[in-house]
Chains A and B, each alone.
Chain A
Amino acid sequence: MTTNPATQLEGKVALVTGAARGIGFGIATVLAERGSQVAICDLSDDASAEAAEELASAGHSAMGIATDVTDRDSLDAAVERIIENYGRIDILVANAGVWASTGYEDRPEYNDADWDITHSVNVRGVVHSAEAVIPHMQERGTGRIVNIASHGGRKPRGVATGRTLGFPYIVSKAGVIQWTHGLAIEMAPYNITVNAVCPGELWTNMIQGIYTNRRNVSDALSDGGISDDFRVSMENTVPLGRGQTPRDIGHAVAFLASDDAAEITGQALNVNGGAKMN
Chain B
Amino acid sequence: MTDATNLDGAITLITGAGRGIGQGIAEVLSERGAVIAMSDLDADAALVASTAINANGGQSVPFGGDTTSQESMDGLAAAVIEVFGRIDILVCNAGVIGAPGYQDRMEHTEEDWDATFGVNVKGFVHTANAVSPHMRERNSGRVVNISSHGGRKPRGAKAVLGNIQAPYSVSKAAVIQWTHLLAIELGSNNITVNAVCPGVLWTPLWEKIAQNRITADPSLAEFTPREIFEQSVKERMPMGREQTPRDIGKAVAFLASDDASEITGQALNVNGGAVMN
The residues of A with any CB-CB pair to B shorter than 8 Å are 1-6, 8, 33-34, 181, 184-185, 188-189, 191, 193, 200, 238-242, 244-245, 248, 251-252, 254-255, 258, 260-274, 277-278
Contact = CB atoms under 8 A, between A and B. Distances in A.
B6 A3 contact: yes
Contacts of A260: 4-5, 250-251, 253-254
A186 B184 CA distance: 36
A244 B31 CA distance: 29
B213 interface: no
Given A255-B254, A255-B259, A274 B1 contact: no
B269 interface: yes
Contacts of B4: 8, 251, 254-255, 258, 260
Interface in B4-39: 4-6, 31-33
Contacts of A268: 276-277
A266 B262 contact: no
B133 interface: no
A215 B261 CA distance: 30
B265 A264 contact: no
A271 B262 contact: yes
A1 to B, nearest CB: 5
Interface in B210-260: 238-241, 243, 247, 250-251, 253-254, 259-260
A278 B251 CA distance: 16
Given A5-B6, A240-B190, A251-B4, A263 B271 contact: yes
Nearest to B264: A274
Q: Which 5 A-B pairs have the closest CB atoms?
A: A239-B187, A188-B238, A274-B265, A251-B259, A266-B273
Q: Is the interface of B mostly helix, strand, loop or mixed?
A: loop
Interface in B155-199: 179-180, 183-184, 187-188, 190, 192, 199
A181 B269 CA distance: 13
Contacts of B250: 260-261
A264 B266 CA distance: 15
Nearest to B237: A188
B230 to A, nearest CB: 16
A42 B247 CA distance: 35
7 contacts: A2-B32, A3-B6, A181-B276, A188-B273, A261-B254, A264-B251, A265-B272
A145 to B, nearest CB: 12
Contacts of B48: none
Contacts of A278: 266-267, 277
Contacts of A184: 238, 273, 276
B6 A239 contact: no
Contact of B263 (A3, A258, A270): A270
A263 B4 CA distance: 16
A8 B263 CA distance: 20
B6 A274 contact: no
B270 interface: yes
B187 A240 contact: yes
A193 B266 CA distance: 20
B110 interface: no
Given A5-B6, A240-B264, A273-B262, A265 B273 contact: yes
A266 B190 CA distance: 29
B137 interface: no
B273 A5 contact: no
A268 B247 CA distance: 18
Contact of A263 (B187, B241, B254, B264): B241
B183 A277 contact: yes
Contact of A265 (B179, B238, B259, B267): B238
A260 B6 CA distance: 13
Nearest to B5: A3
B239 A263 contact: yes
Contacts of B262: 200, 240, 242, 244-245, 248, 271-273
Given A3-B3, A193-B273, 10 more contacts: A5-B2, A241-B187, A254-B259, A258-B4, A260-B4, A263-B239, A265-B272, A267-B277, A269-B266, A274-B187
